[in-house]
Structure 1
C-alpha cells in the first residue's frame, strides 16, 4: 500500500546541512497499524509528512498503491491527499467554529449537497462518540474530545490512510487509552491503514502490528510488534521496551532497598524474560521440585502484545551453586532469557549484565 524507497530529506540552514532523514526504506501493507517510534529529533515526523508530500523528500520514491506520487500533477496530488487523513498532537481545530463546522470545513470541496454534508457530519460524530457536542466550541471540550473531533475531521473524505503525528502526546494516560481504542476500532471496522508516530513504546504496544525504530534520521530496527518486544536487537529499542515494561524502574526500586539485594553466598538476583506459552507454564514451581531451588519473586509483569503474552520476572534464586546452574540451564532450554543482575560476589546491582 505504502512504500518509501531510499528516502532522504536534507535541510540547509545558515550554511549548515541537516540530514533529517537518511536512506529510509519501509513498506506498510494495507490495513496495517504501523508505528514509527523514536526520541525527539529522530526524524519520524519529517518522515511521516513525506507520505502525503507535506514534506517533499530530497531524493527517493514515495509509492502508494504502486504509483510514485512524486510524479503526480498538482491536481492528482490534491486528489491523492483526500485519501490521506492526518491528525496532530495539538488538534489544530478552528476556535471560532463549532465542532460541526470544523468537520464541515473538510467537506468544503467534496461536491456534496448541504444536506448530505450534514448527514455525513452526524455519522462522523456518532462514530467518534461526540454526537451531543455538535454545537459546542473547541474551548468547551476536553483534550480527548478535541482529538476525537480532529479524527472525525480527518475521516470526512473517507481516506484510506490515517497519519497520526504524536496524536496522544498531549493527553493523559486514561484519555490516551480511549483514543487508542478508537484508532483500533477504525482500523478494524473501516480497514484504515494507520501510520502512528510516537516517542512512547507503550502507545505502539497498544495498537501497532509492526514498528520501525528511528534514531538520528535512520531506521535502525523494524519488525512485527511481538518480535520487537520479545527480542529487540538494538540498544535504543531495548531502552524503549524496558521503559514500556517498567523493568528498569523495578530494578531501580529494588536497588534502593539494600535488604532485598544483600545476598547470601548461595543466592543470586536474576531477571527472567519469556514469551508466549511459557507464561502459562509452572516453570518457577518446577525449579523447586526438580532442583530444590527456592525462588523469591521481587517483581513480575505480563504484557499482552497482539494477543501474545510476554512476561518478565525479577527473582532471587536460593540453593546450591551446581543446582542453580542446572535450574538456569533448564529454563534456558524452555526458551526463557536470563540476565544475572547480581550475585553475592558483586557489590552493586548495576554491574554489567551477564546474559546466559
Structure 2
C-alpha cells in the first residue's frame, strides 16, 4: 500500500548540510500498524511527513496504491492528502471552538450538507467515546480526551491511512493505553493502516505488528514485532527492547542485592529467553526431575505480542556442573536462549549492563 523507496531528506541551515533521512526504503501493507521507533533526532518524524508530502524528499519515491505521488498535480495531491489523516503529540485543537466545531472544521470543503456533517460528527464523536463532550471546549478536556478529538478530526474525511507522530508522548501511562486501545479498534473496525512514530518501545509493543528502528537518519533494523522482540540484531534495538521488558531494571535490582547473587560453588546466575510454545511447557520443572538441577527464579516476565508469548527469566541454577551442562543443553534443544550472567569463579563477575 505504502512504499518508500530510497528516500533522502536533506536540509540546509546556516550553510550546513543536514541529512535528516538517508536512503530509507520501507513497505507498509494495508491494515498494518507499523511502528517507527528511534530517539529524538533519528529522523522518524521527518520520514513520516514524507508519506503525505508535508515534507518533500530530496530523493526517492513515495508510492501509494502503486502510484508515485511525487508526480501528482496540486489538485491530485489535495485529494490524496484527504485519504491520509494525521495526529500529533500536542493535539493542535482550536481552543476558541467547541469540540463539535473542531471536528466540523475538517469537513469545511467536504461537499456535505449541514445535516450530513452533523450526523457524521456525532458518529465520529461516538466512535472515539466523546458524544457527551460535543459542546465542551478544549480547555475543559483532559489530555486523553483532547487526543480523542484530534483522532475524530483526523477521521473526518474517511482516510485510509492514519499517521501518528508521537501521539501518546504527552499522556500519562493509563491514558496512553486507552488511546492505543482506541487505535487498535479503529485499525480493526475501519481497516485503517496506521503508521506510528514513537521513541517508546513500550508503545510499539502494545499495538504494532511491524516495526522499523531508526538511528541517525537510517533504518538500522526492520521486522515483524515478534521477531524484533525475540531476535533483535542491532545494539540500539536490544537497548529499546530491554527497556520495554524491564529486564535491565530487574537485573540492576538483583545486582544491587549481593545476598541474591552470592553463589556457592555449584551455582550460576543465568538469563533465559524463550518464544512461543516453550512458554507453556513446564521446562523449569523438568530441570529437577531429569537432571536434579534446582532453579531459583529471581525475575520472570511474559509478554503476549501478536498472540505469541515471549518470556524472560533470571534464575540461579544449583546442581553438579555436569548435570547443569546437561540441563542447559536440554533447554537449548527446546529453543531456549541462554546467557550466563555470573559464575562462582574468582575472576568472573556480573556482566555490565551495557555489554548485555
TM-score by length of 1: 0.98
Task: Determine whether 1:123 maps to 2:146.
Answer: no
Distance 1:129-1:325 versus aligned 2 partners, 3 A rule: same
Deviations, residues 323-343 of structure 1 (Å, cap 9, x unaligned) = 111111110000000000011
Secondary structure (helix, strand or coil) at the match of 2:301 reads strand
The CA deviation string for residues 188-215 of structure 1, in whole angstroms up to 9 with x for no partner, is 0000000000011111111111100000
Mapped partners of 1:122, 1:282: distance in 2: 52
Distance (Å, rounded) in 1 between the aligned partners of 2:354 and 2:171: 36
What residue is the counterpart of 1:83 in the other structure? 83
Q: Give me the whole-angstrom Cα distance separating, in 2, the residues matched to 1:69 and 1:140.
A: 40
Deviations 1:60-110 (A, max 9, x none): 000000101100011110000000000000000001100000000000000
Supply the distance in 2 between the matched residues of 1:335 and 1:154 (Cα, whole angstroms).
44
| Cα RMSD for the two superposed structures | 1.2
Paired residues of 2:3 and 2:63 also in contact (CA < 8 A): yes
C-alpha distance in structure 2 between counterparts of 1:54 and 1:351, whole Å: 44
**Is the partner of 1:53 in helix, strand or coil?**
coil
Question: SS of the counterpart of 1:22?
Answer: strand
Tell me the equivalent position of 1:284. 284
Answer yes or no: is the 8 Å Cα contact 2:163–2:196 preserved in 1. Answer: yes
Q: CA deviation at 1:350?
A: 2.8
Q: Per-residue deviation at 1:152? A: 0.1
TM-score, with normalisation over the residues of structure 2? 0.98
Question: Could you tell me how far apart the structure 1 residues matched to 2:332 and 2:143 are?
Answer: 47
Give the CA deviation at 1:354: 9.7
Partner of 1:62: 62
Matches within 5 A, 1:124-143: 124-143=124-143
CA distance in 2, matches of 1:348, 1:329: 23
Stretches of structure 1 that go unaligned for 5 or more consecutive residues are none
Q: d(CA) in 2 for partners of 1:278 and 1:26?
A: 32
Tell me which residue corresponds to 1:320: 320
SS at match of 1:330: helix
In 2, the alpha carbon distance for the partners of 1:4 and 1:137 equals 39
Whole-angstrom distance in 2 between the partners of 1:354 and 1:67: 45
Q: CA deviation at 1:353?
A: 9.6
The structural deviation recorded for 1:347 is: 4.9
